[in-house]
Structure 1
Amino acid sequence: MLRVHFTAEDLFNVTFANEPLPLVELGMALVASQRVDEQAVFGRWRAKAARELPGRTRPLLDLLRPDGDNPQFVEPYSPTLEEGLADVRDAAPLLTGEELHRTAARAHGSTTWLRALWRQDREAWDRLDDAIRSAYEVLIAPHWPRIRQSFQADVAWRTRLLAAHGIKAALASTHPAARWNGTVFEAGGPPDYDAELGGHGLILMPSPFWTGRPLLAGHPSGAHVLLYPALTPLPLVGPGPAEGALDALLGRTRAAVLQLLVQQRTTSELARDLDISLPSVSEHTRTLRAAGLITTRRDGKAVLHSATGLGVDLLHSGG
């Protein structure tokens, strides 16, 4: 369970990251490649990543595990790849034995390389540098415009949501497991994390690769970063410019689901009308429901979906 304790001051000190960050997104992409959830959306992307990632990227999979609870030094908040690699190197003297024990306990392979890394062995650090560069060239560099499109569309949407309904609605819509308990923001699921913001601020950072519940991490400024799934995951972002604001925000299929739900429909009807699988419909409706754009209710064996007022408003504003 994630618990973030807000004071009144903290509620007025929530901002959005300016841009996606290369090594943060690389970390999330490598995590996403190992996860097994949202197969209808990420299944083909994961299979392609497994084929294309060279063997020299394997060490990163010992550092970056599927739950996203990873050593932060390998995901620095750096604006470019080269600056990020320099920041990773600069972290070497700061790594602690406690971090090594925790990372080694989670690694799926031999821990020999990890222990050499923590001993500041030059060959191990060169191997890490090569692994990061190789993975970046496959997973991030070719798709950077699409990553930015997903990021910017999510920030634009949540900025609108924040202005219309407040910070609590904006944060509660980041994941189906997210909710408020008084002034405590909660999101169910591992890993456990309990934090007080202490007036230092919260930076919201959507990722088109992350599929789990929101993650919290420290920021060099003293603020915290809340990383959460962007409304449009990378596999749903088209290869070219979006045809409209709604497609940019939701992805073409998810936008089509919302458009159909101006009239109430069942899961089966959506699958038939859009010619997609039932699991795919369920994942799309789950995300739209978490964003407050649709409601779902059960009527006997049927599951009925319909757009909310907020969803209809988004359809109108997106043309």
Structure 2
Amino acid sequence: MGRNLVRFRIGATDISSIRFGISPGHELCHAVRVLQNPPDHPLQWGWLRSVRSAMPRGAFGVLRTVIGPEGYFPDFLTSTPTWDMAPADEVERLRRVPAESVRADLTKVLARSEGLRHRIVADMFAHPERTRDQVADAWEEVWEAALAPHWPQIRRLISADIDLRVRRVGVDGVAAMVGSLHGSVAWHRDAIEIEMRKHSEEVDCEGSGVVLVPSVMSTPRCSVLTERPAQPTLFYPVLGLSASWTQERSAVEEALVELLGSGRARALLSLDGPRSTSEVADACATAVSTASHHLTILRKAQLVHSRRDGTRMLHARTPLGEALLGAGA
């Protein structure tokens, strides 16, 4: 039996249009799925423990019905990801979605649902404006309870992943970078191929390129967005995510000292943004030579990457370093 593959056909003009984006809506939709199926998401158990008791049941019920436990969820819940997409922008866009778009997406949900869910979605389909407003209110309420407290750390993990991928383009090229995104992703001749569980499709990018979107909440699988007018989009799990990504800072610092030693732990914790060697030394109250030694060891362990900026060497945490520190970063 053949594999299920989505192929993004890439032309010469598409290569120059491949870019990265961030999607708060995608993170929220997958957070709702994590809450529905905790055993499938062990890396999110720490997050689950921290948010489950605060979850607004009514709002969560609305999103759970629309999103479902797996497979397709309505495209109107997310917009084309951009680098500067903020949660407030996402929910405001959701409130302006045309009623015909709501109905078009709910038609697909109806075809994939049965029983009580089918009856509830049928009522939603009959009242698209009311449904849009209800879903937007639920989106905002669940976001505040589930992801707002963790969004700074999620944003750091995503940004670190993108930074690492961009550097790989400079070293190995676009095809090698894309092929390294996930075990289910490959660049084959003129196409990006993504192995899927159930879905197969050929998508001609037609010069629009592909948006690559790292995700914290969608682990362990990739997903795609293929239907126009949206730009072809590939969502992939962020690199180096660990179960400790939501730990409190005090617990993280104590564990890091035991693992790395106090000097290297302080150096890693000081990198809340790109920092020069002298800035790390000042933050850690140590000599520049000592800071440089610690940073070299951290770089060898792939917890830190460094780049030259004029006469300075700037250091930042890798996705693995961000994941190791968790919410304590």
- Give the structure 2 partner of residue 99 of structure 1: 105
Structure 2 residue aligned with 1:61, among 52, 60, 64?
A: 64
Which residue of structure 1 lines up, in the alignment, with residue 73 of structure 2?
70
The 3-state SS of whatever aligns with 1:111 is helix
TM-score in terms of structure 1 length = 0.66
Q: Do the aligned partners of residues 126 and 76 (structure 1) sit closer, same or farther apart at CA in structure 2, a change above 3 Å counting?
A: same
Cα deviations across residues 177-231 of structure 1 (Å, max 9, x unaligned)? 2223322221222333321111112121111111143322259886322211111
SS in 1 for 2:43: helix
Partner-residue secondary structure (3-state), 1:90: coil
Instruction: Pick closer, same or farther for the CA change 1:122–1:186 going to 2, 3 Å.
Output: closer
Question: Larger Cα Rg: Structure 1 or Structure 2?
Answer: 2
Contact (CA 8 Å) 1:92, 1:120: kept in 2 or not? Answer: no
Q: Distance in 2 between matches of 1:316 and 1:85?
A: 34
Cα deviations by residue, 1:105-161 (Å, 9 ceiling, x for unpaired): 434743333223222355544432332122101111111110111111000110111
Identity over aligned residues, as a percent? Answer: 21
Return the match for 1:85 from 87, 91, 103.
Answer: 91
- CA separation of 1:147/1:159 partners in 2, compared to 1, >3 Å: closer, same or farther? same
- Indicate conservation of the 8 Å contact 2:210/2:233, yes or no: yes
Q: How does 1:109-128 map to 2 (within 5 A)?
A: 109-120=116-127, 123-128=130-135
* Corresponding residue for residue 275 of structure 1: none
Q: 1:31 aligns with which of 30, 33, 37?
A: 33
TM-score by length of 2: 0.64
What is the CA–CA distance in structure 2 between the aligned matches of 1:7 and 1:77, rounded to whole Å?
21
Change (3 A) 1:104 1:134: same
SS in 2 for 1:199: coil
Q: Is the 8 A contact 1:146 1:234 kept in 2?
A: no
SS in 1 for 2:202: strand
Distance between the aligned counterparts of 1:312 and 1:100, measured in 2?
A: 50
Asked whether 1:11 is paired with 2:2, we answer no
Quote the Cα distance in structure 2 between the aligned partners of 1:238 and 1:171: 28
RMSD of the alignment, in Å? Answer: 3.4
User: Is the partner of 1:204 in helix, strand or coil?
Assistant: strand
Task: State whether structure 2 residue 187 is matched by structure 1 residue 184.
Answer: no
The one-letter code of the counterpart of 1:89 is R
Number of residue-to-residue matches in the alignment: 252
The whole-number CA distance in structure 1 between the counterparts of 2:54 and 2:242 is: 17
Instruction: Give the letter aligned to residue 59 of structure 1.
Output: V
- Secondary structure of the 2:127 match is coil
- Alpha-carbon distance in structure 1 between the residues aligned to 2:304 and 2:145: 38
What residue identity is the alignment partner of 1:193? E
Which of the numbers 214, 217, 225 marks the counterpart of 1:209?
217
5+ unaligned residues in a row in structure 1: which ranges? 242-251, 257-310
Question: Which amino acid in 2 is paired with 1:216?
Answer: V
In structure 1, C-alpha distance between the alignment counterparts of 2:184 and 2:92, rounded to whole Å: 36
- The 5 Å alignment of 1:123-272 reads 123-190=130-197, 191-217=199-225, 223-233=231-241, 235-237=243-245
List per-residue Cα deviations over 1:280-319 (Å, max 9, x = no partner).
xxxxxxxxxxxxxxxxxxxxxxxxxxxxxxx959467468
